[in-house]
Amino acid sequence: MAEDTPLHFKTIAEIAELIESKQMSPVELTTYMLDRIAALDGRLKSYATLMADSALSAAKAAEREIQGGSYRGALHGVPIAVKDLCFTAGVRTMGGTKVLADHVPNFDATVVKKLQAAGAVLLGKLNLTEGAMAGYHPDFDIPVNPWSSEHWSGASSSGSGVATAAGLCFGSLGSDTGGSIRFPAAACGVVGLKPTWGRVSRYGVLALAESLDHVGPLTRSSADAGIMLQAIAGLDPDDPTSLPNPVPDMAEGVDRGVRGVRIGVDEQYITHDVDPELAEAVLSGVRALEHQGAEVVEVHMPEMESFLSAWPVLCSAEAVAAHQATYPSRREEYGPWFRDWLDLGAGVTGAAYAKANNQRAACNGRLRQIFESIDVLACPSMPTPPFPVASSGLSESLDDGLDMSLLRFTAPSDFNGAPTISVPCGLNGEGLPLSLQFVGKHLEEKLLCRIGHAYEQATEWHAVHPPV
């Protein structure tokens, strides 16, 4: 453990060690984090709803259990937060939308229940774009990137990325439909783990597009991502799409290294129309793992542009289904960006949806062939460092609609449901974070955490924090 790391920037694994050995009290730690949120979040705007009273109650309960010799594991007594899509009984869940501003669920999402069962302390709910798409509702706060207030904080799970990067929680939950675990991880310089589709229950999580939605952790280390995934993964009788496959012990063997792991690299894919500093950082990250014994395998990615046009068709049409209780009946209460998105979906015909679904299936087939010869694929998490934004929280290009080239490294694994991990891999000349993504085979999250951990042992980027 790095002794000089400030308490709020320690990893879950480090904090767990302090709590289990009784060097740190969950109540003391939770109070410290609530004070830090009070001091900083007025500027950073990562929290939609702070749950201070229930957090302190949970911390006291955790403290009693641990003092009594009943330690549940690495999340016991650790303060975390969840994206405000996850239902919390008795606490509003708004999904960034004005139509749900008064929505108070009477039950907890399965992921929230599982985190509570692991003994985690829930600090609160994190801000996001409206409906988890690209734009914010004008009446809602926009999370501020802690590296630079003038740059993008990563779209939908932006509050999760900001809070985790700024040390306002030790880990968080986000969701990913087109890249919204990976974008905030990349923009805010943290680790984002998008699990296999179905690995984590979506019961009690507000949907954007159900066939594309994934729930997963944002943390400050790959091992921590494994710890959080371990807690939330597994079959859920309330979600028929959740997978019955056993969840492995994610911490076991995380430090085994990467000798013999086959990493697929397509240099053209990594570098074409990609920011040059970012492309070089990604290739440098691959070389660092090659020096540790990984085998680099040359692959040739299919041309993605023709497949990506399917994503807005599928996502917008499914968003209309997800919002049928309030759209179109309360259409005018939606903000302009998401209202336009729902209008787009309302115009999708059955034939257009079928055509897009066929494009998705073709893309999945091409990617299956690539993975025959590799264990993981290396690529950027997004094509650029975080870009400058206007007061709307969007770049001018996103203000005018969705630039699908932004999703070219993320949407394919939402199409096929494959797991991915994004890890910080440098800072550019402006001091903004750069991010390296590994895409794995289905249910291989444990290997992804191992690869991320090996990369972190060879570099220092995970330990570089924003100047908050």
Domains parsed from the chain with CATH numbers: 80-299+359-463 (3.90.1300.10)
pLDDT exceeds 90 at position 394:
no
138 pLDDT band, cuts 50/70/90, is very high
Mean pLDDT across the stretch 270-280? 98
Q: What is the mean pLDDT of residues 339-355?
A: 98
User: Is the model more confident about 399 or about 25?
Assistant: 25
What pLDDT does residue 389 have?
A: 93
Three-class SS string for the chain? CCCCCCHHHCCHHHHHHHHHCCCCCHHHHHHHHHHHHHHHHHHHCCEEEECHHHHHHHHHHHHHHHHCCCCCCCCCCCEEEEECCECECCECCCCCCHHHCCCCCCCCCHHHHHHHHCCCEEEEEECCCHHHCCCCCCCCCCCCCCCCCCECCCCCCHHHHHHHHCCCCCCEEEEECCCCCHHHHHHHCCEEEECCCCCECCCCECCCCCCCCEEEEEECCHHHHHHHHHHHECCECCECCCCCCCCCCCCCCCCCCCCCCEEEECHHHHHCCCCHHHHHHHHHHHHHHHHCCCEEEECCCCCCHHHHCHHHHHHHHHHHHHCCCCCCCCHHHCCHHHHHHHHHHHCCCHHHHHHHHHHHHHHHHHHHHHCCCCCEEEEECCCCCCCECCCCCCCHHHHCCCCHHHHCCCHHHHHCCCCEEEEEEEECCCCCEEEEEEEECCCCHHHHHHHHHHHHHHCCHHHCCCCC
- Return the pLDDT at 397: 61
Mean pLDDT of the chain: 97
Q: Of 25, 46, 156, 175, which one is the catalytic site residue?
A: 156
Predicted pLDDT of residue 1:
47
* 314: pLDDT strictly greater than 90: yes
**Mean pLDDT score, 362-369:** 98
Pick the catalytic residue: 158, 180, 242, 422? 180
Catalytic residue among 10, 45, 46, 83: 83
Q: What is the pLDDT of residue 349?
A: 98
- pTM, two decimal places: 0.98
Calculate mean pLDDT across residues 298-320: 96
Is the pLDDT confidence value at 403 over 90? no
pLDDT, position 3? 66
Q: Percent of the chain at pLDDT above 70?
A: 98
Mean pLDDT of 242-248: 98
Span 245-259, mean pLDDT?
98
Is 83 part of the annotated catalytic residue set? Answer: yes
> Is 242 a catalytic site residue?
no
Question: Residue 399: which pLDDT band, with cuts at 50, 70 and 90?
Answer: low
Instruction: Provide mean pLDDT across the span 289-298.
Output: 98
**pLDDT-based confidence at residue 392 (cuts at 50, 70, 90):** confident
In the residue annotation, 156 being an active-site residue is answered as yes
> What's the pLDDT score for residue 395?
74
